[in-house]
Each structure stands twice: as structure tokens, then as C-alpha cells.
Amino acid sequence: MANPLDDNITYISLQNLKVSLTDMSVTNSNDGAQTQLRIKEVELLKYLCQRYPNVALRTDIAENVWANTYASEFTINQTVNSLRSKLFNQGKALIITVPKRGYKLGVKPEFHTCAPPTPELSAPAPEVKKKTKPDTTSKASSQKVKSTAIKLSKPVFALVSILTSLLVVLGIGLIQQDDFEAMRINETYILFSPTDNELKLINETLQSTHYDYIDKVSATIYGCKEDKQCINITP
């Protein structure tokens, strides 16, 4: 059982990253770069911190981060990957996948009750400009090579344009996420293989209501929106 975080904690340190729990921002103390987290990403990170150094099982993540609602495997995968991407190039090192179990934090978190420090950045060195004689020979050669490259790439661009147009007209694609394949209808992901009757129901539902993804648990079909709230759409 994970212990809840103290309500007085204002930010969490993960090595050089400072995660603010007040404005849900991540700051890289090395260069001052920032990213912005969503609510579920913050809740997921807080739960991983609570579980450290233990593994947070997928079932426990679903029950604690998505309490009183439904979270599919696809939802959890999407949230984990989105959180990793906002931890700069340290995402996979900080959030480790434990195959067939869940995830764990890769470093010991440090909890703070004061405001996060403002990174001090050194001023950039003045740019030194050098005057050089223009090389007309190199410029002419470069233009010739560029012209040749453009001529050679035109058939490739034409082929890409045709394929892109076909995909837009069809409006149906496939996406692979963490070894999980999902069908897509326009902007909605279908996370199971629907029967003809189920596909008819989905199409009728999407005519009046937009969902980010639709999933099926047992015999019940759920339509889920960006905030991960799912609604039973089974007639």
C-alpha cells in the first residue's frame, strides 16, 4: 500500500528535474527548459514516487490514478509515454518498464515544501564575426548539387502526395503503441476488433458524439474522452 504524499509538498526533485505540484511544470535545472504536465501525468508521477523503490503494478496504477473510473491498457500506455516525453531525454531512465508487471521510478525522489529554485543561467559568449572572401566556385557547385537533388526528389514527393491523399480519403489507419495495435476511425481509436453490429453502433455513436478512443470490457463498450472519463455506449 503506497503512502500518500504530504499535502505541504510543493515540488519533487528527480536528479536535475524539478516537478512543481502547484503549476504542474517540469523544469530542467541545467538549462531552465520547461514542459507542462497534465493532471493524470502528475498523478501518475506522484503514485510512482509513493511506490518507490517498489514496482507500481498496472492494476494498482489503474485503481489509484483512475479511481472510480475505467482505464484501459492503451490509456495507461499513452499516459506513461506522454509523461516520459515531458521529462526531456531522461524519461525512459526515470520511468522504467517492468515487463508484465508495471513501472517503477529509476531514481530516489526528493520532496520539498518550499518554492523550487530558479535556475541561474550563464550569459552566452559574444559572437565573433569573421569576414571571409566569398567562394564563388563552392557556391556554384552547391547550387548545382541542390538543383540536381530537387529534380531527383520530385518523383518521390509526388508518390508521397498520392499516398497521403489516399490516407486522408480513407480516414482509417492503424497505430501501434507499446505492442498494442488500435484501429482508427477519423480521430477516434478503436481498441478492440469490433463485429459488424458493433462497428455499426460505433459509427452511429460517432456521428453525434466525439470520443478519443472506444474500448470494450467483457460485453460492455465504452467511449472515452481526453480526460480519460469513459461512458457506457452499449444499447
* pLDDT, tens digit (0-9, with 9 covering 90-100), for 93-103: 999 999 889 99
Fold adopted by 11-112: Arc Repressor Mutant, subunit A (1.10.10)
The predicted model scores a pTM of 0.53
Least confident piece of the model among 104-108, 149-153, 197-201, 207-211: 149-153
Q: What is the pLDDT at residue 168? A: 44
**At 71, which amino acid appears?**
A
| The pLDDT of residue 175 is above 60 | no
Q: What are phi and psi of 25, to 5 degrees?
A: -105, 155
As given in the structure block, the three cell numbers for residue 147 are 538543383
Which residue shows C-alpha cell 520539498? 112
Give the closest residue to 80 by CA, choosing from 92, 68, 66: 92
Which residue shows C-alpha cell 526528493? 110
| The pLDDT of residue 128 is above 60 | no
Give the closest residue to 55 by CA, choosing from 12, 95, 15, 9: 95
Strand partners, 185: 172, 188
As given in the structure block, the three cell numbers for residue 38 are 497534465
Enumerate residues 6+ apart whose C-beta is below 8 A from 34: 25, 26, 27, 28
Alpha carbon distances (Å) from 171 to 114, 116, 184, 196, 200: 50, 46, 8, 18, 16
Confidence of residue 122 (pLDDT cuts 50, 70, 90): very low
Domain segments of the chain as ranges = 11-112, 172-232
**At 162, which amino acid appears?**
I
Q: What is the mean pLDDT of residues 193-212?
A: 90
Q: State whether residue 71 is helix, strand or coil.
A: coil
Say how far apart CA 189 and CA 173 lie, in whole Å: 9
